[in-house]
Amino acid sequence: MPLKKAPGIVPAVDMNLGQAVVYVNRLRGLQEEVTGLKVGSDIYDEFGYLVGNTVLGQADLDLPLILDMQKRGTDVPFMIGRQNKMAGEYGFAAYIGSPLGSGSQAGETDKEMGSLQAFVKYCRESAMEPIIVLEMTQPGSTHFAREGACEDLARLSMELGVRYFVAPATRPERIQVYREILGDRGEIVSPGSGPQKTGDVVADAVSAIEHGADHLVIGRGLYGSDDPVGTTKRIFEAVARAHEKR
């Protein structure tokens, strides 16, 4: 199932499987607003892909699942290939990877490739859209990267035909840097609106969009709401206006 055209909201299903079933059932009817559901280690580390997706599938949401096991994108190419093949058997629409510390080396075989090339290659072989993390949301997330490394990652990913990138709503000025690099050839997915920034999830989301984001990953700002559906619609209406003006 393809990801929704920008703009859109990506609810982060960062909770245990029982809570997730209740939560995703509350999100019915949001196909227009929601890009996809981001699901990761909270569920799959405990239950695996088979049990996790079988249970989530019973909600019959008709929304694409975006796999967020991003740190596996830093592994050696041979392991990335195994991990992506395993994930690809369970119908994920996209896979978020974070090959930030692994370097990049052109090649065709596992022995020749860098982690970035391997992650993109094996996502595509498994019919998953690769989503590349350029920067995390937390303070100091680029402290151990040389200056310009994240920008180089964006450029190299574009050369490989990557379309989706993660940049932090906590630092909207960095979103703007990547928007200038990507132009209209890439879409930016931004986590961090709400509790990690000002606490005003709508204002943070609009700021991210104004600086160049296309999709907003929102966790606590939605699942902590008494009315996640209403909150999703309210955020979407605000970001859709901002996206259209941009």
Which band of pLDDT confidence, cut at 50, 70 and 90, is reported for residue 105?
Answer: low
Q: Tens digit of pLDDT for each residue in 32-70?
A: 999 999 999 999 999 999 999 999 988 777 889 999 998
Q: For residue 104, is pLDDT > 80?
A: no
**Residue type for position 25:** N
Q: For residue 101, is pLDDT > 70?
A: no
Report the alpha-carbon distance of residue 43 to residue 49 in Å, rounded: 8
Q: For residue 61, what are the contacts with CB-CB under 8 A and spacing of at least 6?
A: 24, 25, 27, 28, 37
Instruction: Note the pLDDT of residue 59.
Output: 78
Mean pLDDT across the chain: 92
Q: For residue 109, is pLDDT > 80?
A: no
* Mean pLDDT to the nearest integer, 204-223: 96
What's the Cα-to-Cα distance from 173 to each of 151, 168, 219, rounded to whole Å? Answer: 13, 9, 21
Instruction: Note the pLDDT of residue 178.
Output: 98
- Which residue segments constitute the domains of the chain, with CATH numbers given? 8-245 (3.20.20.70)
* Mean pLDDT to the nearest integer, 107-111: 74
Which has more pLDDT, 44 or 146? 44
pTM score, two decimals?
Answer: 0.93
Q: For residue 233, is pLDDT > 80?
A: yes
* Mean pLDDT to the nearest integer, 196-202: 90
What's the Cα-to-Cα distance from 227 to each of 218, 221, 232, rounded to whole Å? Answer: 14, 11, 9
From 32-36, 110-114, 124-128, the region with the lowest mean pLDDT: 110-114
* Mean pLDDT to the nearest integer, 194-198: 88
Q: At what angle do helices 172-182 and 149-159 cross, to 10 degrees?
A: 40
Give the three-state DSSP class for 107. coil
